């Protein structure tokens, strides 16, 4: 199912224990718009965890796919067959590689999102100088949306201006120092929060607190 901003929260479950991930997903009880899975969880719990997580809502497969088009198609097909609703790919591998992910997504009625500027400090070295080109690449290829940094709200705002109707998912809120409200004000449609929720004593309460901040 396509991502629709309701709570505007996407929870990154970067855990290395499938049972713990499922237990948190269950506790969240669908209050987030999606759960994002990344390599730490998939490599430890296996791809089938996606099917179990899907019982609790949309699942975004953050595999940051960045290979040649054929390999990208094969990776995406695995994610979608496992039940993912959306895939995340890198843009720097080029438009043909991105297009392969988007084409595969559309075969399954799913979505593809493209990473532009990342949220960590090292993103200023190579990604930031090309971020606007990556936004344009994603737009032309027909991506559903892009990833842009909640840690740099001013950059997020610039990227929003160039992104047109594409949805923006903004990671870096909480543990990386980004602020939920500022990210949304800068133009993000969703924030992505990992440690700030799964690392909290009460992940449900922590998620509610982020959602409250987004409503204010």
Q: By CB under 6 A, name the binding residues for ligand O7M.
A: 12, 14, 38, 62, 88, 115, 118-119, 147, 149, 171-172, 174-176, 192-196
Structure tokens at 167: 């949805």
Closest approach of ligand O7M to the CB of residue 14, in Å: 5
Closest CB 198 distance from ligand O7M, rounded Å: 8
Of 19 and 39, the one with the shorter C-beta distance to ligand O7M is 39
DSSP element (H, E) containing 60: strand 58-65
Helix (H, G, I), strand (E, B) or coil at 53: helix
Nearer to ligand O7M, 100 or 147 (CB): 147
Active-site option among 33, 62, 85, 158: 62
Nearer to ligand O7M, 82 or 206 (CB): 206
Pick from 176, 144, 196: nearest CA to 13:
196
Is position 36 annotated in a ligand binding site? yes
Q: Please report how many Cα atoms fall inside a 13 Å half-sphere around the Cα of residue 76, on the Cβ side.
A: 33
Other CB atoms within a 10 A radius of the CB of residue 97 amount to: 23
Is 151 part of any known ligand binding site? Answer: no
Rounded-to-integer distance, Cα 69 and Cα 71, Å: 6
Catalytically annotated residue among 52, 54, 64, 103? 64
**122 marked ligand binding residue:** no
Active site residue 67: yes
DSSP label of 1? -
How many residues are listed for the chain in this entry?
A: 216
Question: Of these residues, 27, 52, 54, 67, which one is catalytic?
Answer: 67
Helix axes 18-28 and 203-215, enclosed angle (nearest 10): 50
181 is known to lie in a ligand binding site: yes
- In the bound state with ligand O7M, the residue whose beta carbon lies nearer, of 45 and 115, is 115
Do 91 and 114 touch, CB atoms closer than 8 A? yes
Which residues define the annotated binding site for substrate? 14, 36, 62-71, 119, 171-181, 194-195
Which residues define the annotated binding site? 14, 36, 62-71, 119, 171-181, 194-195
Catalytic residues: 62, 64, 67
């Amino acid at each position: 199912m396509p991502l629709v901003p309701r709570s505007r929260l996407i929870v990154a479950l970067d855990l290395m224990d499938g049972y713990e991930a499922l237990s948190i997903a269950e506790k969240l009880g669908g209050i987030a718009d999606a759960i994002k899975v990344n390599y730490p969880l998939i490599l430890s719990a296996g791809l089938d965890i996606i099917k179990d997580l899907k019982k609790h809502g949309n699942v975004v497969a953050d595999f940051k796919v960045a290979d040649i088009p054929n390999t990208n198609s094969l990776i995406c097909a695995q994610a979608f067959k496992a039940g993912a609703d959306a895939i995340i790919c890198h843009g720097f591998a080029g438009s043909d590689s991105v297009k392969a992910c988007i084409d595969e997504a559309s075969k399954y009625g799913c979505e593809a999102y493209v990473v532009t500027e990342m949220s960590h400090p090292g993103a200023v070295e190579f990604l930031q100088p090309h971020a606007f080109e990556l936004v344009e690449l994603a737009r032309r290829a027909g991506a559903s949306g892009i990833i842009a940094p909640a840690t740099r709200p001013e950059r997020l705002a610039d990227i929003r201006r160039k992104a047109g109707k594409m949805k923006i998912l903004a990671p870096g809120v909480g543990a990386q120092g980004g602020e939920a409200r500022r990210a949304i004000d800068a133009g993000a449609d969703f924030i992505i929060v990992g440690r700030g929720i799964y690392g909290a004593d009460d992940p449900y309460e922590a998620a509610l607190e982020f959602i409250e901040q987004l409503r204010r």
